[in-house]
Amino acid sequence: MEPFAALAPLPGRTQQRPFQLGRVFYVDTYGTNVDDSGEGDDPNHPLQKIVTAIGKCEANRGDFVFVNDVWSEDTEPIVVNKAKIHLIGISVSPVPMFVVVTPTGDTAVFQIPTAGQHVEIAGFNIGGGASRGGIQTQESPFGNWIHHNVFGHEFPGGGTPAYGIKSNHAPTGMAHALIEDNIFYGEDGAASFGKIDTNGMLMYGCKGLVLRRNRFIGIEGINVQITDAVKCIIEDNRFAIDGNTTGRALTLIGCAGCWIDGNKAGFGKTDMAAVAYADDGSDNHWGTNASGAEVASYPA
């Protein structure tokens, strides 16, 4: 079977095939002929758990793990400790309804240690523990690519993860990561599908972070807070903020050499009284960013 036949091109993805292709493993918790003790390289005989597939991967070989259906049957946190592996949720819609990972306890879903360099995580519906992030670093991974995931909106039955993504290991944190085209939900709505209840992203020391084209919907706290980072690029993100307060969309603390441009924030149908961006330094570079109908070139 062609290993990429089931993977439709994702918007914004320019690389249709990886430069390096290692082995391919398949996970399908509720598929037929599931065998978690098998090889897992045949889609007709998939593994049951993502952690089992990661255990079969070899670091730096470019291995892929395709996940068809999980629904919270894994063991969290899922420690992604192999360099240059790709975890891909296969979904029939832009919102990965059936590729759901949410912990039963207060843990992260995906935990990335320093050994998890250049890891790709895409196509998952990600929950998280009450004080944890859906994706959380342990130590200082480098060069991760996180894209086309949904954070906070857990279809199996809700939950209130504290963060979508959390990187709290100074001074380097999640260095040179590319985080793009994700959705972070704070509002749970009438269906109570779950929500992020603190920050969409809480990042420390993330040198060279690129954050673009993400959507943050109704996050109760600061949508993105970045501390002690340098040379970040923060472009074209959208914030439906939950409060008309300064810095609610994006707050930079102790950052330098960053470029921030093309971001837009809105607060319901109300004109915003405050600028949705905050920066306590003078060494970052601000382009044109909007707060409601107003265009704010410079933050508070």
Which amino acid appears at position 292 of this protein?
G
Residue pair 237/214 in contact (Cβ under 8 Å)? The answer is yes
Q: Is 163 exposed, middle or buried (0-12, 13-18, 19+ CB in 10 A)?
A: buried
pLDDT digits (tens, 9 = 90+) for 2-31: 434 444 444 554 444 445 679 999 999 878
pLDDT digits (tens, 9 = 90+) for 29-74: 878 899 999 999 999 999 999 999 999 999 999 999 999 877 656 6
**CA 93 – CA 137 distance, rounded (Å):** 28
- Rounded mean pLDDT, 191-210: 87
Angle at 156 between CA 69 and CA 181, to 5 degrees: 70
**CA 88 – CA 38 distance, rounded (Å):** 20
SS (HEC) of 236-253: CCEEECCCCCCCCCEEEE
Q: What is the pLDDT of residue 223?
A: 97
Which amino acid appears at position 283 of this protein?
D
**CA 146 – CA 111 distance, rounded (Å):** 13
Beta strands in 24-149 (DSSP E): 24-28, 64-69, 78-79, 86-89, 100-101, 110-112, 120-122, 125-126, 133-137, 145-147
Q: What is the pLDDT of residue 190?
A: 53
Per the listing, tokens 């914030």 go with: 239
Q: What is the pLDDT of residue 222?
A: 96
Domains, in order of start, for the chain: 66-229 (2.160.20)
User: Is the confidence at residue 110, as pLDDT, over 90?
Assistant: yes
Q: What is the pLDDT of residue 13?
A: 47
Q: What is the pLDDT of residue 68?
A: 87
pLDDT digits (tens, 9 = 90+) for 274-285: 899 999 988 999
Q: Where residue 105 falls among pLDDT bands split at 50, 70, 90?
A: confident
Enclosing H/E stretch for 265:
strand 264-266
User: What is the pLDDT of the chain when averaged over all its residues?
Assistant: 85
Beta carbons within 8 Å of 262's beta carbon, 6+ residues apart: 235, 236, 287, 288, 289
Percent with pLDDT over 90 in the chain: 59
pTM here is 0.89
Q: What is the pLDDT of residue 73?
A: 63
pLDDT top residue among 98 and 253: 253
User: Is the confidence at residue 153, as pLDDT, over 80?
Assistant: no
User: Is the confidence at residue 207, as pLDDT, over 70?
Assistant: yes
Cα 55 to Cα 75, 105, 206, distances in angstroms: 13, 22, 28
Q: What is the pLDDT of residue 29?
A: 83
Q: Where residue 1 falls among pLDDT bands split at 50, 70, 90?
A: very low
Enclosing H/E stretch for 53:
helix 50-56
**CA 96 – CA 111 distance, rounded (Å):** 20
Among the listed ranges 36-50, 98-112, 238-252, which one has the minimum average pLDDT value?
98-112
* Count of alpha carbons within 13 angstroms of residue 37, beta-carbon side: 0
pLDDT top residue among 6 and 193: 193
pLDDT digits (tens, 9 = 90+) for 113-133: 999 999 999 998 888 888 888
Among the listed ranges 112-121, 215-224, 226-235, 267-276, which one has the minimum average pLDDT value?
267-276
Cα 275 to Cα 86, 89, 213, 227, 294, distances in angstroms: 38, 37, 20, 19, 9
Residue pair 6/66 in contact (Cβ under 8 Å)? The answer is yes
Cα 161 to Cα 63, 175, 223, distances in angstroms: 29, 23, 14
Q: What is the pLDDT of residue 8?
A: 46
**CA 158 – CA 234 distance, rounded (Å):** 30
pLDDT top residue among 145 and 132: 145
Report the range out of 18-32, 187-201, 263-277 with the highest average pLDDT: 263-277
